[in-house]
Structures are given as C-alpha cells and as structure tokens.
A = this chain, B = another copy of it.
Amino acid sequence: MAGNTFGQLFTVTTFGESHGPALGCIIDGCPPGLPLNEQDIQTDLDRRKPGTNRHVTQRREADEVEILSGVFEGRTTGTPIALLIRNTDQRSKDYGNIARQFRPGHADYTYWHKYGIRDYRGGGRSSARETAARVAAGAVAKKWLKTQFGTEIACWVTQVGEQEIAFENEDFIAENPFFAANRSQIAELEAYMDSVRKSLDSVGAKLHIEARGVPVGLGEPVFDRLDADIAHALMSINAVKGVEIGDGFDVVAQRGSVHGDELAPQGFQSNHAGGILGGISTGQTITANFAIKPTSSIATPRRSIDTDGNAVEIATHGRHDPCVGLRAAPIAEAMLALVLMDHAMRHRAQNTGVCVNTPDIARLG
C-alpha cells in the first residue's frame, strides 16, 4: 500500500535511503532453477553506477551487491531473493539549512507535508540512489526473460536538451557516457554537456526503449494492460514526465488507415502500435519513449521557502548529475523487464485450461 513493492507475481520490494547504511530489495516469486550469481546483477549495477565519468555525479559508490537468500548451489530455489548494497560514500557533512528548506523541483516540500518528518540527507528515499535496487532486481528478471524466451531489452538516449541524437548503431551505446546509439555525435555531446555544467544549470533528456523477443499474449485487457503497466513502470522512475507507447503522441494526427498495423501470412506489416494491441503483446518488438526532466539540484540560486514559510534563496552545491537522464537507461530496462516478467507469470497462471487450443502458449515454456 505504501508503494515500495512492484509487481503482482514477481514482486520486488525495495528499501534504503541515499545516506543510510544500505539499499536493497527482496524479490519474491522468482521461479526456481534459474542459474544466478552476484555477477549477473553486478554487470547492470555497474552500468548505472555514479562517478564513472565527468558528466555524472562524482559520488563514488562500489554498488557491490550481496545475495542474502534464495539461491542455493548457483540456482534460485523459489524462495525470496534478498539483495543488499551497502552505501560507502555517503559523506558526512554539515547539512546546514537543507533540513528546513524546500529545494525547488525536489520532493522536499511534499515529503515534509506528507510525513511530517524527512530524512534530508542527500534526498533520503527520494534520491535516485533508490533506483540501484531496481536495477539489481531487474537484472534477475532480464536473465529469466533471456533464458526463457530469448527476450532482449535495449534503451538509449535520443535527445539531451536541444540536442537530438541520431540512431546509428545499438552497439555504440555501451561505448559512451551518454547511452547514445551513436558514435559520430559524441564529441559534440561532450562539449554540450560541459557547457551545461559550466552554466550551473541542468537539462532534460528523452530516451527510447524496446524489448524484442516478447511472446504474444502478455498483458491483461482492462486495467492491467501491458502498455498501462509499462507507463506506470517508466513514470515511476524519478524525474520522468512523459511516456509514449509505439507512435505515442504522433497518433493524434494519424488516420486509422495509416495507424492500424496490417497483417499478412508472414506477420505484421508495420508496428505503429508498439507491439501491443488491446493491452496484450502481439509478439512484435515493444517500443516506448519517455521524457526526463532536468535535474532539480543546480548551483544557480533559486527562490524558495523554509518550513516556517519564510522566503529563502537556495543554490544546491555538491555532487549532482547535470542531466539525470543520462543514467536512466539501465533503470528503464530494469523496469520494463519487471513488467514483462510479471506478465509472463500471470499469463502462465491463467492459461491452466484443459480445454483450449492455445497455439502460441507453447512459447511460454
């Protein structure tokens, strides 16, 4: 109810604050028998990790994960998998006025009004550090999806501030700090981000995500449509303000005769729908885009108030990402994996029928 659990059958419950002793999660419902070790998870954590280049926060965290339960002799047992990541670089410092002031664009104001108490150190629970636990859990789902169906999930940045990034090749994504599927624009992006940082400001970003090798039939037709759950998952990532499935907002000006994807004996002839019809996967590639707002912590002074309602001026110094969108790709991949895995398990649960000819369900193993 307090919303720290994601999923219905493959559930992930996360915990942890930016400057507390640790972050982590419990995965409940992971099918037994999946080969799993720390390295499977560490690889994705390292992709999200802060401090790896000059365009992201300089906080240095090893983000080393420990599996506390649910794995025996290298395989999952069907019991809860607890994952623990100790915080190691939560600098002790004088928080000064932060404890009693609301930074513009931050959750300070709303946490204080909701709870009447707030762990202000580094943003507490509202910090993007919370997403480390998501990435860890997502790595398990990704591995299962890959093993079970061959599903591949990829996410890349398509725009940073005003800079659109052309798609060149997916292989380039891992080679640059911008998660850009592009090699030729990297120098330009480096310069752009340097200029943003020097201006003591921040910028937004847009990302594209897709999942290939998704079986047909995932998703529930009314409230828990696959697209609705994906929108929920992506919008639950800090700073996301917009989500599109398939053609997204372009559908407004489309005609039905253009949008509806035709079928031939060989399969679908286009994919305007983004791989989902009636809330259920078609077996095509699932595609989505999402928008991330500019980082709220900037060194430019801004007007605000304190907890007594007095006017104050705030400039946030310290270690912050000038574009939080740059580290969002692994987080979004994790969230999409959690959605797909949960729906694969739901589908399996429901199709226990004795009586129905369900030709594609065999693909669900």
B21 and A66 form a contact (CB under 8 A): yes
Least Cβ distance of A352 to chain B in Å? Answer: 5
- B-contact bits for A60-89, CB 8 A (1 contact / 0 none): 000000101110100111111110100000
A77 and B125 form a contact (CB under 8 A): yes
Selected contact of A344 from candidates B251, B345, B352, CB within 8 Å:
B352
What residues on B are CB-neighbors of A130 within 8 Å?
222
Q: Say if the beta carbon of A117 comes within 8 Å of chain B.
A: yes
A110 and B217 form a contact (CB under 8 A): yes
A228 and B235 form a contact (CB under 8 A): yes
B265 and A311 form a contact (CB under 8 A): yes
B109 and A298 form a contact (CB under 8 A): no
As for how many copies of this chain the complex holds, the number is 4
With the chains together, A311 CA to B266 CA distance in Å?
9
Q: How many residues of A contact B (CB 8 A)?
A: 166
With the chains together, A250 CA to B252 CA distance in Å?
17
Least Cβ distance of A7 to chain B in Å? Answer: 9
What residues on B are CB-neighbors of A247 within 8 Å?
241, 293
Known interface pairs A235-B227, A278-B107; A262-B303 also in contact (CB < 8 Å): yes
Selected contact of A255 from candidates B203, B206, B217, CB within 8 Å:
B203
Least Cβ distance of A204 to chain B in Å? Answer: 4
B345 and A354 form a contact (CB under 8 A): no
Q: Say if the beta carbon of A187 comes within 8 Å of chain B.
A: no
Q: Say if the beta carbon of A309 comes within 8 Å of chain B.
A: yes
Known interface pairs A80-B13, A248-B242, A248-B291; A72-B221 also in contact (CB < 8 Å): no
A117 and B256 form a contact (CB under 8 A): no
With the chains together, A303 CA to B260 CA distance in Å?
10
B293 and A259 form a contact (CB under 8 A): yes
Q: Say if the beta carbon of A220 comes within 8 Å of chain B.
A: yes
With the chains together, A68 CA to B29 CA distance in Å?
23
Known interface pairs A72-B124, A102-B263, A259-B293; A278-B110 also in contact (CB < 8 Å): yes
Selected contact of A348 from candidates B20, B29, B311, B352, CB within 8 Å:
B352
With the chains together, A117 CA to B353 CA distance in Å?
11
Q: Say if the beta carbon of A14 comes within 8 Å of chain B.
A: yes
With the chains together, A265 CA to B101 CA distance in Å?
12
Known interface pairs A349-B345, A356-B33; A11-B5 also in contact (CB < 8 Å): yes
Q: Say if the beta carbon of A53 comes within 8 Å of chain B.
A: no
A113 and B242 form a contact (CB under 8 A): no
What residues on B are CB-neighbors of A305 within 8 Å?
263-265
Q: Say if the beta carbon of A8 comes within 8 Å of chain B.
A: yes
Q: Which of A43-51, A170-178, A269-277 contacts B (4 or more CB under 8 A)?
A: A269-277
9 further A-B pairs in the complex, CB-CB below 8 A; given A15-B82, A32-B350, A203-B254? A2-B346, A16-B80, A17-B70, A25-B26, A75-B117, A107-B279, A110-B278, A116-B351, A228-B231
List 18 A-B residue pairs with CB atoms under 8 Å apart, sorted by A's residue number. Answer: A14-B26, A15-B26, A15-B70, A22-B69, A22-B82, A84-B84, A113-B359, A114-B217, A115-B351, A159-B253, A161-B252, A161-B255, A203-B253, A231-B234, A236-B279, A241-B244, A254-B294, A257-B298
